[in-house]
């Protein structure tokens, strides 16, 4: 049974996933303006991935006979201190999303909603990948800094990411 509590929580998560996409697009805009097109491409791909996550929840809610209700998305930050600060904020954001996914999974367990648990297991695994991916870039930026040839090389590498 698809409870109203889970439906509402999934609608909240749809909003979070779309907000994540918006945040990553704002980060991409900052990075493009900083003449780091590879970093910006990484963030654009991340934004597309977050939109696809929102659609996974959207489709699931309707598959279960529920109703999607869209919520407002706040304006994301537009200025950042450095590429490293961008990725540190991205990592912190992914850690926050992981907490929400875990809470949603706990709710599905409490509601004995096994179908939702199956969907959410995919998201639990996905969040491990999301945190690792942003964390890897943070680690590299800590080693190389925010300027110089190594930054340009990393920019080229990150630009190869596809959605």
Q: Is residue 100 part of a domain?
A: yes
CA quadruple 108, 113, 118, 124: dihedral, nearest 10: 0
CATH of the domain at 87: 1.20.1260.10
Residue 51: inside a domain, yes or no? yes
Burial of 102 per CB tally in 10 Å (0-12, 13-18, 19+): middle
CA–CA distance, 54 with 104 (Å, rounded to integer): 14
Q: Model-level pTM? A: 0.93
| SS3 (DSSP) at 26 | helix
CA distance 90 to 83: 11
> Does residue 163 sit within a domain?
no
Written as six digits, the tokens of 150 are 């190594």
Domain assignment of residue 106, yes or no: yes
pLDDT at 146: 76
Q: Which domain holds residue 52?
A: 4-158
The distance of Cα 54 from the centroid of its chain, to the nearest Å, equals 10
pLDDT tens, residue order, the chain (163 aa):
689 999 999 999 999 999 999 999 999 999 999 999 999 999 999 999 999 999 999 999 999 999 999 999 999 999 999 999 999 999 999 999 999 999 999 999 999 999 999 999 999 999 999 999 999 999 999 998 877 788 888 888 898 887 7
Residue 126 lies in a domain: yes
Q: What is the pLDDT, as a whole number, of residue 157?
A: 87
Supply the pLDDT for residue 148.
Answer: 79
Domain count of the fold of the chain? 1
Dist CA 33 CA 37 (whole Å)? 9
The pLDDT tens digits for 89-121 are 999 999 999 999 999 999 999 999 999 999 999
Backbone angles phi, psi at 160, to 5 degrees: -85, -10
User: Could you tell me if residue 121 is inside a domain?
Assistant: yes
């Amino acid at each position: 049974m698809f409870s109203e509590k889970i439906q509402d929580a999934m609608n909240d998560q749809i909003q979070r996933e779309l907000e994540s996409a918006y945040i990553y697009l704002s980060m991409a805009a900052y990075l493009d303006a900083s003449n780091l097109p590879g970093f910006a491409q990484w963030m654009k791909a991340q934004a597309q991935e977050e939109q696809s996550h929102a659609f996974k929840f959207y489709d699931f809610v309707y598959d279960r006979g529920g109703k999607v209700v869209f919520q407002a998305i706040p304006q994301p930050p537009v200025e950042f201190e450095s590429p490293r600060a961008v990725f540190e904020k991205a990592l912190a954001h992914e850690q926050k999303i992981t907490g929400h996914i875990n809470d949603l999974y706990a709710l599905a367990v409490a509601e004995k909603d096994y179908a939702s648990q199956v969907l959410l297991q995919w998201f639990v695994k996905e969040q491990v990948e999301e945190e690792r991916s942003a964390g890897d870039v943070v680690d590299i930026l800590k080693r190389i800094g925010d300027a110089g040839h190594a930054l340009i090389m990393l920019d080229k590498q990150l630009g190869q990411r596809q959605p």
